[in-house]
Each structure stands twice: as C-alpha cells, then as structure tokens.
Structure 1
Amino acid sequence: MTRTHWITGGIAMMVATAAIGQAQRTAAPNSGPGDIVTTERPGDPARVVLPNVERLFDGYVRDGKMPGIVGAFGFADRPTLFLASGQIADGPKQPFADADSLWRVYSMTKPITGMAAMMLVEDGRLKLDDPVSKYIPAFATMRVAIDPDTSLETRPARTPITIRMLLTHSAGLGYSISAKGPLLKEYERLGVLPATVNAQMEAQMRRVRPTSLAEFANRAASLPLIAEPGTKWSYSMGLDVMGRVIEVASGMSFERFLQTRMFGPLKMNSTYWSVPKSEIGRLATNYAFVGENRTPLDPAATSAFLTPPSFPYGGAGLVMSARDYDRFLHMLQDGGTLDGVRVMKPETVALGMSNLLPAGVSFGGIGNGNGGTTRTAGMGFGAGGSVMLADVPGSASKGTYGWGGAAGTIAWVDPVRHMRGTVMVNYFPGERWPVRQEVAAALAKDAAGLAR
C-alpha cells in the first residue's frame, strides 16, 4: 500500500499513513487548524470523494512509474480538493508530495503570461491587433525562411506580427525545442534558448544566452520566421517575447508586473523564478527516462532552478506548487476574482479564454515533448492556452482552457461546469505515461458521483 494523503480546504496539513495503519502527522507550509484530512483507513468519508483519481495516483506510485504526484481539483464553490501520493524524489526519507511541494511547470507558465497580457489589454495599454513593433522596434522588418528546415534563405514578411499572434503561436516565430538544421544552429549561436533544464546544460547555455528580456527579444527579431505571420499555428517562443512586451507596455519589469498584479493579490506565495534556499526541501527532483530506467536529471539539491535565470522565461520559467496554480485557475473560473480580490474583469477573462487565432488559422495539436495537448479536433487557442470549441460529451465543455508542461504537468479550467484541475509530476518526456488522458477519465467518473 502506498502512502497517500488527502487535503481539503484552503489550508493544508499532510498526514502520511504507514501500511500498518499508524499515522504520522507532519505540518505542510502554511498549515493550520480547520483542515479536513483523511488517511487510508476504510470508512473515512472524504476518501470516496475522488476514489477513481485516488486509485490512479496510488497505482502510478505503486507501479514505480513516478516517485510522486499531486492533484488539485475544484468543483463549483466547494473547497479545493488536493490529492497526493508518493514522494517528491526517489529514495528513503524523501518528503512526501503535498499541495505545497514545488514543481517545474515549464509551459504551464504560458497561460500566466497570456493572462498578464490580457490585464494590459484591459488597462488599455495593449490592443490584440497592435503590431509588436510598437513595443519592440526590432520586429518592424521581419523575414520569412523559405525552407526553415534546410536553409536560412529568406524573403520579406508581408504581414506585421501582432500581439494576438504572439499569444496564439501564430506569429511565425520558431522555438529552440523544435527548430532543425541551420535555423537551430542560429538559435544556439544567438542564445535564444528560453528554458532551464539542469545545472550542466545551464552552464553551457549561459555562455551565449542574453541576460535581459530586451536583448532576448531583439535577438529573436533577428532570426528568420518559419511561416508568414498570421497564417499558421506553430508552437513558439511567442510568450517569451510577450514578457518583453509586458515590460514596455507596463513600465515595469516582467517579474514585478506579475508579482504586483497577479501573484501578490492572489496570494500565490509558492511561485518562483528561482527557488529560495529555504524552500529546497519542497522542490521535487526532475527525472529523465532512458529506456525503462528513470534517472535524476535535475536533483533538487543541485537544481538549476536554485539560481536566478538569465532573464524571466514567460514561456517556461516558473516553479510552482499545486496550491498556487489552483489559485490562478480558480481566479479564472470565478471570472477574475478570488477571495474577494478582483485582478481581472470577467469580460477580460472570457476574452483571454476564447479562441483568439487569426481568421483562417486553426490549432491542430502538437507532438510529444512540448507540453500542452495532443488533441487535434475541436480546439482553438486563446491567451497562452488551448480552448475547446465544442462540448465533449462526458468531459470538457466548450470554452475549457488550459495547457501543460514538458515535464508532465497539466492544468485546465472548465468555465461552464465550474471545474478546474492541476496535476503535478516532474519527468521527461512528459508523455512517458498517459497521465492527461487517464486523469481526465478518472475525474469524469468521480465528478459524476459528486453530482448525484
């Protein structure tokens, strides 16, 4: 039997239960009185709230698929349900995973950056169809690669890149994780590498990577586009460039804007660009699968995320707890307000969670290793995340918005059913196990039971 803990309500306490049924209690950060906690003892009423998800999580850990996993699930105005199984790393005496464990969310940073941009749209400081060159002049004259996989030969772009295109991956920008051939070499030469992997790779990347968002954006503008702006969905560094747009439009650093307008008001107190030394004990280890073997890729004790990044990566840079990401989603679910604090207007949230793709552009899903979703039908794209364009019977409603991360994390909010979910794991490739599909199926069964 695996060690499992349930935490319900706004403040969490971890209870780990040994196989013999004797409980050992350990307080999680920010823990306090009033929590409802259940153990593995039969008969505890809250154990059956999400029994299918519980069995799924326990099975993942029991079968050695991952050291640990955490989920945060919200239903209407009920308290958030946190479910966790296992530990944050392999080995004896490792901390149990819980609602306040820290995980690399990688591309789940993108919806946060996207909604930050929507705040500036609400403020009147940005317009969706503004040219990006209004904020970053280097984007005024762009060129498009004729065959980006094989050559750097280019032609002039006919259409200016807009804010809308940055938000929806339709700007024609490429990405170091998918570029090939000579274009990839240019990305590497210029250090246009907006992501952190581990200490060894970080030491190499820092030699060439720019040290500010301003310089990053200017270098990105010097690279050939892979498609004519506004004609094709292609996963990109658009949300990283958006970080620089936010700086220019807001008049403050990207990090300060997010802290002032989002993280602080929403009490997202476990969201970091770099993890403080005092919080290392909460940081999960990131793993890589080599064949059937799982090996530490970025151990917590020596993690590259303990050092401030070269610049804040709006597309892949955050480390967060399940509790904090749930607070972000909860705000979206409730139309821009959480705990009586409004950070966005309902109409702004609705716009950001709508299909913002330029006319004639469709979202066809993405391949492995990038986070997000592999679904290929009935989806559009909003401010940094995918959007369902129609109901899926027994599953997501039209308007469901979300995205995932390269290390396996997933998050979504269904504004029609007033449901949301966050799942935290850390291993490469994120598609090593079908967590997205299996959690959705298990949660649908449990949600049907809650509705009765």
Structure 2
Amino acid sequence: MTSAISHALSRRSLIRGGALLGAGAIAGLPLAGAALAQDASGRWPAVARMVGAYVDNRRVSGMVATMGFGQARADTIARGTKTFAGDDPVGPDSLFRIYSMTKPITGMAAMMCIDDGLMALDQPLYEIIPAFRTMRVQKRYDGPITADNLEPARRPITIRHLLTHTAGLAYGIIQSGPIREAYSRRGLVPGQVSRLELAQAIMGGTPTDSLADFAQGVAEMPLVYQPGTRWSYSVALDVMGRVIEVVSGQDFDAFLRQRIFDPAGMTSTWFRVPRGEAGRLTGNYFLMGGFPIPLDMPRNSVFLDEPAFPAGGAGLVSSPSDYDRFLRMLAGYGEIDGRRVMSEAAVRMGTRDLFPDTLATNGGFTSNGLTFGFGAGGLVGKGDAEGLYGWFGAAGTSGLVNMRRALRHNLMTQYMPAEAYPTQSEFPQAVARDAARLLQS
C-alpha cells in the first residue's frame, strides 16, 4: 500500500463512519400529521440540493435519501447511477454496503434475546462464552502484549458492555502496534471490502473461518481498557453475533432472517447478495486525492461470495427501502404494517442510554464537542437531541430515527473513507431544516 493510500485510509474512519453534527435540531420537531405533497424534492429541498450537488459534481456516482414520519411511506430522493461508468440509475431498491449500520440491527437482535429471557443485560459474558472468564487488560493503551504491561480485568465483561462499546475490546482498524498485529495474525477481521489485495491492508488481514472461532480468538486477546470504564469502538457487536447464536441455538444470520428481516418485510438485506441480485448492487469507491478508484464493483463484488462468517458489526448489504423499514419498525416501537416484530419494551430499552454506571467521567461517546449516550449498537441523543438513535457506515451511509418525534431518515451512497466528505453531518442538518419547514406549513 502506498504511503498516500495509507495516510488517506485512516483505520478509525473506515468502520466508524463520519461525525454527527446538527442532529439536535431534529429533536424539537413535533410528530407530523397532515398528508404531504407528492413531489419529494419539493418537500425536502435542502436534502435534494445536497444530494444533487454531490452527484452533479461527480463526487459520488449515486446517492439515495429516504425520509419519513411515523408509519407513513418514506419519501425518496435519488440521483445518479450505480457506478461512474454505467447509466443504470440508483433508486430505493438499489443495494449498498451498509457496514456499521449493521450494528443497530445486531443490537436489536440482542434486545429480543433479553426480552425472551435467553440472557440478561448485566449478565457476565463468560456465562455464555466461557473463554471470556479471565481477561487481561493493557496498562498502556496499544502498548506491548507482555506480562509487565498487562493486569487482570477488575470486573467481567457484560452484555451491556458489548452493546455500548464499553467492554474494552480492541478493533483491528482502530488499534496500532502489537495488538493490531495480533488481531491480524489471529484472523480477527470482522468484515470485507474487496477482492483486491488492498482490502487485506484496509481491514487488517484475512478473517478466520467461523463466528465461533472469531469470538474465541477475541477472548484470547488482551483488552485495551478496563471493562465498563470507557467507550471504545470495537468488535463487540461481532462478538454479540456469537452470543446470539449460543443463547438462541440458531446461526446468527438465520436468527436475523427469522426474527427481524422476514417479519419486518426486509427482503433485500443480506450478508451475501444472491447472484441474481448483482445488478442491483452499487459500486464502492476509494477516494484518493478526491479521485474515485473502483474498490468493489457490482458484477465482481466480494459480497457475492459467502463471507467467512456473518459479521454483526459491519457485514450487511441493504437497500434504502429495506433500511427504512427497519427504522420504521423502531419508530413504531416494534410494530410495522400491523405486525409486531419486537416488543415495545425491547425497543425502548435498546434505544435508551445503556452506558454502565462505572463509566469514567471522561469515558463516554463524544463527537465534535457533542456528548451522546449509547444504546443497543447505536448512539442515543441527549439534551436537545433526546430521542435520537442510530449509527453510520464506513462507506458514507447514515441511518437515524428520532424515537420521540417519529422522524426517520437514512442516506445511502458508496465511498471510502467516510470522512473524506461531510455527508454524515450534512444530511441530518438538511433533514432538520426541511422537516422544520414542513411542520410549520
């Protein structure tokens, strides 16, 4: 990998996605009641301008935004094409790599297991996966993995810790030095990017061959923080996939299909895209010096292959219409189209702040000077942003719902790293401006 690519592809940006700005403006919006006009661009002019500017200036090949109130059908604004080289337009049924927007889905699956009595929020992880019973913690962050830099964990990792990224687990795309190298050697790589050799450098190696072995390997590694003390982005939601397998007795991907995707009518969300659906895939690009380089193209996408294991932290491909159904189900407190997918109690728990009471005073999740709580795999708004829940993806995607005001919105596009453009901050701001105008008219 050239030094220019290495510099541009910061590990933190690849999976974490961009920063959140302006989300607090959404929280003050009342629930929409009146039926809206037919032209989505006319209703959402700020969103339409933003989407149009990115596509017209060829910063992205295509972009799709969906916005909706309550249980009403989503408005869609779609511009551009699936790839720069083609003329096939993007739309609400196009397929996008959502990467870390997989995490809230896994988080809600965990809430269902808690609701079913299969596990408990503050249950020690070792009771489900015994390999996590005795954990060691680095004294110096990203320091050597040697006896003089390790100490025993002061408390066990819990299910709550996994859901909120406070377990102290590492992430190969975040860490540096010996622990990153150890994760790479052990195959603790929770995601795929491309068939290109560059992909191994991006993701930190070749993944191990099963979710069970992935969780076992993570348990063998030292923690980077004491459990329950700091928010630290990690492989926690990938480990949660294995937890769900153990407590439910089902393969993780089968659980998601049976309990969430099928009941919610999400027919276009997969860890592996069927070959017959390859024409719906968009192209993913790596931006080097602002120039898009093909990274994963539709007809030869790595997502057409069976993954090494279903990665609950970053493994899914979905469509704008499908992810809107997930957000609409949450906005309906577990119900969509008259069908209950989750209990209201499980949704309420998963979308509230679940940070442990052992969190250090400076140990929470902050972004651009704003402080948020964290729920089941996604941020939780505080103060003016109360009610907000959701997360972002490494290829520029965003998925948020305001539970208090029933305003849901997601943005789909494909470029890496996500922080190359400010789409993940501009989109919530544009939605807030348009929604405020709509609700005053």
Corresponding residue pairs, total: 397
What is the identity, as a one-letter code, of the residue corresponding to 1:118? M
For residue 376 of structure 2, what is the aligned residue in structure 1?
Answer: 383
Equivalent residue runs for 1:358-377 within 5 Å: 358-361=356-359, 362-365=363-366, 374-377=367-370
Secondary structure in 1 matching 2:409: strand
Match of 1:250 among 248, 251, 265: 248
Q: Deviations over 1:58-109 (max 9, x none)?
A: 111111111110011111343211110101110243x101000000000000
Instruction: Provide the rounded CA distance (Å) in 1 between the counterparts of 2:272 and 2:300.
Output: 12
For residue 351 of structure 2, what is the aligned residue in structure 1?
Answer: 353
Secondary structure in 2 matching 1:98: coil
Residue 428 in structure 1 maps to residue 429 in structure 2: no
Match of 1:218 among 193, 213, 216: 216
Instruction: Provide the rounded CA distance (Å) in 2 between the counterparts of 1:376 and 1:214.
Output: 38
Instruction: Provide the rounded CA distance (Å) in 2 between the counterparts of 1:109 and 1:304.
Output: 17
Match of 1:193 among 189, 192, 203: 189
Residue 117 in structure 1 maps to residue 117 in structure 2: no
| Unpaired runs of at least 5, structure 1 | 1-37, 39-43, 366-373, 392-396
For residue 79 of structure 1, what is the aligned residue in structure 2?
Answer: 73
Instruction: Provide the rounded CA distance (Å) in 1 between the counterparts of 2:206 and 2:262.
Output: 33
- Kindly state the Cα deviation for residue 206 of structure 1 after the two structures are TM-superposed: 11
Instruction: Provide the rounded CA distance (Å) in 1 between the counterparts of 2:151 and 2:287.
Output: 41
Residue 167 in structure 1 maps to residue 155 in structure 2: no
Q: Deviations over 1:271-314 (max 9, x none)?
A: 01011111111101110011121111111121111101100000
Residue 49 in structure 1 maps to residue 43 in structure 2: yes
Which has the larger Rg? 1
* 84-93 or 185-194, which deviates more: 84-93
What is the identity, as a one-letter code, of the residue corresponding to 1:272? W
Instruction: Provide the rounded CA distance (Å) in 2 between the counterparts of 1:375 and 1:355.
Output: 19
- Kindly state the Cα deviation for residue 46 of structure 1 after the two structures are TM-superposed: 4.7
Residue 398 in structure 1 maps to residue 391 in structure 2: no
| Unpaired runs of at least 5, structure 2 | 1-36
Cα distance change, pair 329–295 in 1 and its aligned pair in 2 (3 A):
same
Secondary structure in 2 matching 1:423: strand
- Kindly state the Cα deviation for residue 229 of structure 1 after the two structures are TM-superposed: 0.6
For residue 141 of structure 1, what is the aligned residue in structure 2?
Answer: 134
- Kindly state the Cα deviation for residue 425 of structure 1 after the two structures are TM-superposed: 0.8
Q: Deviations over 1:175-203 (max 9, x none)?
A: 01011111111001101011101012468
Q: Cα RMSD over matched residues? A: 1.8
Q: Which has the higher helix share?
A: 2
For residue 23 of structure 1, what is the aligned residue in structure 2?
Answer: none
Given the two structures, how large is their TM-score scaled by the length of structure 2? 0.87
Cα distance change, pair 357–100 in 1 and its aligned pair in 2 (3 A):
same
- Kindly state the Cα deviation for residue 207 of structure 1 after the two structures are TM-superposed: 8.4
Instruction: Provide the rounded CA distance (Å) in 2 between the counterparts of 1:297 and 1:240.
Output: 24
Cα distance change, pair 45–71 in 1 and its aligned pair in 2 (3 A):
closer
Percent of aligned positions with the same letter in both sequences?
Answer: 45
Given the two structures, how large is their TM-score scaled by the length of structure 1? 0.85
For residue 156 of structure 1, what is the aligned residue in structure 2?
Answer: 152
Instruction: Provide the rounded CA distance (Å) in 1 between the counterparts of 2:223 and 2:40.
Output: 52
- Kindly state the Cα deviation for residue 364 of structure 1 after the two structures are TM-superposed: 2.9
- Kindly state the Cα deviation for residue 155 of structure 1 after the two structures are TM-superposed: 1.5
